[in-house]
Amino acid sequence: MEALRAIADMADITFVRQKQTLGLGHAVWCTRRIVGDEPFAVLLGDDLMRSRTPVIGQLIDAAERYGAAAVGVQAVSKEDICKYCSLDVTHREGNVYDVHGMVEKPRPEEILSNFAILGRYVLTPRIFEILESLPAGHGGEIQLTDGLNALCRVEPMVAVDFEGERHDTGSLEGYFRAMLHFSAEHPRLAPVLDKFLQERGKK
């Protein structure tokens, strides 16, 4: 109960319902009145992070330091990048890159780099104007990536190769792996997992 109450005390929580399933870009656009005219964070709930500094905090730091929108990226394999997006970047310093363009769910010939955005963004309100008139993209959906591809041409945007381990809970296998990973570190669940594995091992 305490753990749940602590979450409710962290912030005022407001919900906006996306009444049609028109894509991530449309979902973000639906928040425009609540967000208003200031930078804001987007966190995709199916990308679960484990990091020393929260990944969104790493992005906020970069956004403030460079006066830019910031997206969280990691290198993914050539086989996997078609599930995400691919970024055209040049190295700036440390783990920070300047973003020049991006493509959603790239075909092999469209891959721009092995960096993909993994569910964390700090954006500027200009994205709402762009999303307003953005045509449907991959899968017939309004793609946030297409909006960011336009945003990075009119405003500075950096990609942060963030510190942290990311779990994709958007697939059954990824969800299961995340459960196992977090259970293995949980004081009550770790012994249950150990016992289960020992028992299975005996069979």
Footprint of ligand G1P on this chain (CB under 6 A)? 24, 44, 47, 84-85, 104, 116-119, 143-145, 170
Tell me whether residue 106 or residue 124 sits nearer to ligand G1P (CB atom).
106
State the nearest-atom distance from the C-beta of 25 to ligand G1P, in Å: 8
Tell me whether residue 95 or residue 189 sits nearer to ligand G1P (CB atom).
95
**Six-digit token pair at 53?**
């500094």
Tell me whether residue 55 or residue 144 sits nearer to ligand G1P (CB atom).
144
**Nearest alpha carbon to residue 82 among 102, 57, 45, 111:** 111
State the nearest-atom distance from the C-beta of 186 to ligand G1P, in Å: 24
State the nearest-atom distance from the C-beta of 13 to ligand G1P, in Å: 22
Strand partners, 47: 168
State the nearest-atom distance from the C-beta of 143 to ligand G1P, in Å: 6
Tell me whether residue 82 or residue 189 sits nearer to ligand G1P (CB atom).
82
State the nearest-atom distance from the C-beta of 103 to ligand G1P, in Å: 9
Cα 66 from Cα 80, distance rounded (Å)? 30
Q: What are phi and psi of 57, to 5 degrees?
A: -65, -40
Cβ-proximal residue to ligand G1P, closest one = 84
Tell me whether residue 3 or residue 172 sits nearer to ligand G1P (CB atom).
172
Cα 196 from Cα 53, distance rounded (Å)? 32
DSSP readout, 149-182?
Answer: HHHHHHS-EEEEE-SSEEEETTSHHHHHHHHHHH
Cα 90 from Cα 98, distance rounded (Å)? 5
Provide the sign of the torsion angle of the four alpha carbons 161, 78, 116, 88, taken in this order: positive
